[in-house]
Structure 1
Amino acid sequence: MTEFDPGPPPEFAEIFARVPDYASHKQHFWYDWGPIFYRGRLDGSARVLCVASDPGPTERVAMRTLVGDAGQRVQGFLAKIGLTRSYLCLNAFAYALHPSSFWKGPEILRDEDHLAWRNELFDRVKGPELRAVIAFGFQAQEAVDLWEGKGNLTVFEVPHPSSRSPGQLLEAWRDAVTRLREIVPADPEGEPVAPNYADTFREEDYARIPHGDLPFGVPEWFSDDSWGRTATPRHNNCVDRPDPDDGHTLIWIAPRS
């Protein structure tokens, strides 16, 4: 593996270092694991900005967002519109939000410090190549709606990849793929004619996370959980938070050689 992401350039590292303090809201987050910020291009070449809700346990290990089961679904989505590298993934929250605090999310998103920091970040990534924003799920849609600087960018609001309504997810993603193919130029090695989504989510609808999106040294298998999806018992993520110490313990499973 020779391709890897060396990390954010200085101007983005400076913004990330100024992430607002979550301490006053820490009961709503897996706070002690710290923040996760991005995955993809920070050099202005992104044609699509993907915004999700918050990072999961796999993201903590990778130090990049959208790399677990949800991320591999999003990567498959990007592949269907012909993108293999010209994208950027961010989150509404830099910390992982407890599902039980779902409805607290909009209030925190509107917090003055959080809103100003997030919109500054969104403004900074709005490069000349950006054609569309895809907001995956409610929290992301709220965050993008609060972004005053998005201007006339085309925004697609679709279900989160972990949605519990698979029929609605597939219908919305299928429509978004069709429309995005019309406005987003494909990468040279992309295949925007790949089959769109059918009536069920299939293994071929997933895609591995490119090593160019990940730090140097992650295992070769880390970006592709297909082995876990066919395991018995099945597990869609190689990293999990175990009860009862989910706030301070992660379980990371490797495939057997």
Structure 2
Amino acid sequence: MGMTALIEARGLRVRLGGRLLLDGVDIDLRRGEVLVLVGPNGAGKSTLLAALVGDIPLDGGDVRLLGEPIARTGRRDLARTRAVLLQANEVSFPFTVSEVVEMGRTPWRGHPLEADDDVVIAASLADAEVEHLAARRTTELSGGERSRAALARTLAQAAPVLVLDEPTAALDIRHQERVLLRARAHASAGGAALIVLHDLNLAAAHADRIAVLHDGRLRVVDSPARALDASLLTEVYGHPVRVIAPFPGEPPLVVPDRSAAPAALADVVRTGIAHVLPPEGTAS
């Protein structure tokens, strides 16, 4: 296992409800990198993320966090080492944004770094651009604002491993870029970021390495230029894909290959339209 890895996983197997969700996954998260997990719905991305941070039991394999078996790491030490932003980040009670972000400092209670709480909370509010919402109740916020408040809470945890599951889903283009640039800054400062994304072009633009997951198995873990292979993506996503060669210094661009779309797809579209439109000449 690599000396620079913050998370090291070998032979991961996870079975839930009798279904094998991960099957023999080997992967590392290296210090200083942004690693992005991609794959179709149901590929096992969120399951792999949960396995890597110690949130679900394993049926096989081993995960090490900072060189130590994650299964033997206490909850407080886990919370000080990896900060996790899940897809579902709803707050059940009408806490203010400031109170929600303060919750991210809970692992540091009783630790000398508790003295940094005010500074870290203020920086996290600013990083997520929610400082102007600090006194607002989370129940009053839009979906994107709630997502940014949850990100600020995750940043306030100040853990070396930053784990984000679909952090850009509810965000506009400015905040999508800002979140991923913040992850890059975190990695550049000596931490690492593990991110699940559906948008392959965001992955191409911001990842050091991309891991393509399909049916619970890793198909490739490599640089964006090598991982985003048109033939592989066409197979994995079950839809024709083109990868456009970038201009110098630019990431590859992934687009649907509509010229090669199967005839069956066109038939589905025509059938669907027929169901919702009345026959021509029929009075409404």
TM-score between both structures, scaled by the size of structure 2 = 0.29
Higher relative contact order (CA 8 A, sep 6+): 1
Q: Which has the larger radius of gyration?
A: 2
Higher strand share goes to which structure? Answer: 2
TM-score between both structures, scaled by the size of structure 1 = 0.32
